[in-house]
Structure 1
């Protein structure tokens, strides 16, 4: 009986997935997120790294430091080893996994983490992204690139100050997906 349960559980785990950034390395949960957002929020992200923000219990937040709508609540302190060093004009290649597409708008932007606000204009925008009605997704849904702006107004020079944020809203599913890549410009 147990031998039959494993394939069913594996299939169930796959059906929970929706989308996330696999490269460059995105923020992940850890002890700092657990302190800020609570163990239930960390558990929700760890059980399905590709799940929507709506699956993360924000009511378990232990402090104002937890903002599920900023990097899924993942904290810089848990991800300091993932900081990308970039230069103005540099192209950054992204890879996304989209096991279950949900059509809707998406973008990649530079976000000031202190204010959770976009710096400048989005670096890449999709009016229609991850359309589940298509036989196959366009390659630019899972492999795309952005260019670091020449002028960020003196921002993004300190670790933890800025992230490249991939943001996608599946309209019909009513689900929000987000990942952050920490970076500094030199």
Structure 2
């Protein structure tokens, strides 16, 4: 119930924002993020659920904005998904303010903040604000979960499914992460 209320509150904040993943349930800010990044960073994300990384000011050197926009596994343990090789994962994004640029969805090792394997989907041109209407696959798309090396991503918090988008004209970076384990 707590995660449903937090997700609904975060989605309400998206109306005046830029973009974020809404499904599967993404990492949300919380007390552990406040400890790592400062309460002001959490307040900024809660006020604008799709705020670009460049608009968040961490208060400590322990904050890693470039991993899940600073959101931590400790605040999101109840949102862990289970994926297996071959699963088709339906993803949804909200893009109230588009900014054209590249985007992708990848599996990221959270200990090293490095991508495992190839991106699951890539967009050379994503969220182009010059189009009269965004392509449907910018806000609703699917990825196929790959076969990972034996033992990879079997413990919750080790890996995330990361949506990454960089608006080149706006020079703004957006990230959303989905916690998962291999089933």
Give the alignment's TM-score, normalised by structure 1.
Answer: 0.89
Structure 1 residue runs of 4 or more that deviate by more than 4 Å after TM superposition: 13-16
Are 1:142 and 2:133 counterparts?
A: no
> CA offset at residue 16 of structure 1?
4.3
Corresponding residue for 1:4? none
Corresponding residue for 2:175? 178
Corresponding residue for 1:44? 44
> CA offset at residue 88 of structure 1?
1.0
Corresponding residue for 1:121? 118
Corresponding residue for 1:27? 27
Corresponding residue for 1:92? 89
> CA offset at residue 152 of structure 1?
3.4
Bigger-Rg structure (1/2): 1
Partners of 2:78 and 2:164 in 1: how far apart? 22
**Does the CA contact (< 8 Å) of 2:27 and 2:72 recur in 1?**
yes
Corresponding residue for 2:7? none
Deviation readout 1:111-147 (Å, 9 max, x if unpaired): 0000000001111000000000000000000001111
What are structure 1's unaligned runs of at least 5 residues?
A: 1-12
The alignment yields a C-alpha RMSD, in angstroms, of: 1.3
Give the alignment's TM-score, normalised by structure 2.
Answer: 0.90
Aligned residues: 171
What are structure 2's unaligned runs of at least 5 residues?
A: 1-12
Partners of 1:73 and 1:94 in 2: how far apart? 21
Corresponding residue for 1:57? 57
Matching residue within 156, 162, 165 for 2:162:
165
